[in-house]
Structure 1
């Protein structure tokens, strides 16, 4: 089924968009008509990013560019915004903070370096991106969408640093919504449960799978496209009455 072009003329930035949830989000927004800047960090993601741009052009009939950058670098957000404005003009409509790092480390094994790496990517980068985007954000229909996680509320052994970043991102979501709501900008978070992706593969299945099967109503991992559909709605003008929400997309966690 063809996606309605409800975002025609809009410009979106999606971080961490070469694969998984980010890839699905970038394609979904493009299919709705948006021009998309997608970011990736490592050289091994260059080919998947190029393939996604080709797919956006041929199947979604929209425009896209990619930016390779390390979001731990505090200058990366300015680089991303500069490339977007040069490619698509002075206005940006949608920011999706999707990029994140996850790893399995128990509390006694978390080093300062590990802590800083995760927080700089998962928390500081979304803040700096928001700051870089704001001078270009088109009002009154600006959309900021943060990809959080059920891990920010539901405890999993060995994912404490990651969980703390997602709890922080939810705090940002509610506060940014309060700060920007007077000008018509909405800020929301989507909190996926385990989704079939490369990121999920990085977590020890002995940690996640038993708890997931015991507490999820649907007892299966999600698909990236299922998260992208929610993000797509939140990016549209018709979602203007939805803000400051952290929306669970987790297959029905009983303890969530």
Structure 2
């Protein structure tokens, strides 16, 4: 994880990181906190509650920053407002950074994709980011930062993850449109496209799909670490990224073949 010795370039900023009780989201939340941001952690299930509470405590004690956690199901229409209301109550009238990290992956070959499977993936991975942006915009202090987590899967085809791949391609489309719509006041919108990263989500993917990706990376032939993704997100959240917008940045050890 990022250390508290990191330059506190985000001092006083308010950041929402969805799906941040573990994995990449946890690393992002802690890294932003170590740079001075006040953090809102969201999680969906009771299983994730302990992780969210532990991260809040860790941010307060190790990163010397403020944090709250909000439990909600991002598939429900009321979740974005609940998150934003909790953020404003805790940290005041403005939000500076939104990281749409929450996502699910559910494997099924094309002939086996059901309406329920498709809707479950798209409600979390596509609809939730859209309505999070809508809920945040009235309170976004400009120049704001919106960062979406996409995936190498949104650009390359892997067997058995069609709904997930389509959802991440949609996230990239939203990223470019939002950048065009929101850029006039200096707000930037970007996406990060991780390759395989050590996480619970990676554990859900068929090893036959993951192993060729690892062998095809150009750097060390390994899975990425959540902290490596968090560093990229921190740059995109910082003032240093003011001339970067509408971009989908690959972070896959060179695996992307765009």
TM-score tier (shorter): over 0.9
The equivalent residue for 2:176 is 174
**Mapping 1:49-198, distance limit 5 Å:** 49-139=52-142, 141-198=143-200
CA distance in 1, matches of 2:199, 2:14: 26
* Partner residue, 2:218: 217
Task: Specify every segment of 5 or more residues in structure 2 that has no aligned partner in the other structure, as ranges.
Answer: none
Q: Deviations over 1:80-139 (max 9, x none)?
A: 000000000010000000000102111011100010000000000000000000000001
Q: Which residue of 2 aligns with 1:251?
A: 253
User: 1:229 aligned to 2:231?
Assistant: yes
- Distance between the aligned counterparts of 1:199 and 1:3, measured in 2? 28
Q: Deviations over 1:230-256 (max 9, x none)?
A: 000100111100000000000101534
**TM-score in terms of structure 2 length:** 0.97
Shift of 1:215: 2.1
How far off its partner does 1:207 sit? 1.8
Number of aligned residues: 254
Cα distance in 1 for residues equivalent to 2:245 and 2:7 = 23
Q: CA deviation at 1:213?
A: 3.2
Which runs of 4 or more aligned residues in structure 1 lie more than 4 Å from their structure 2 counterparts after TM superposition?
none
User: Given that residues 104 and 121 in structure 2 are in contact (C-alpha distance below 8 angstroms), is that contact kept between their aligned partners in structure 1?
Assistant: yes
TM alignment of 1:37-56, pairs within 5 A: 37-56=40-59
SS of aligned partner of 1:194: coil
CA contact (8 A) 2:147 2:189 kept: yes
- In 1: Cα distance, 2:246 partner to 2:214 partner: 29
Q: Deviation digits for residues 13-63 of structure 1, max 9, x if unmatched?
A: 000000000000000000000000010001010001110001000000000
Once residues 214 and 21 of structure 1 are traced to their aligned partners in structure 2, the CA distance between those partners, rounded to angstroms, is: 22
Structure-2 separation of matches of 1:51 and 1:214: 35
**Stretches of structure 1 lacking an aligned partner (at least 5 in a row):** none
Mapped partners of 1:237, 1:138: distance in 2: 13
Q: 2:166 & 2:50 partners in 1: Cα distance?
A: 32
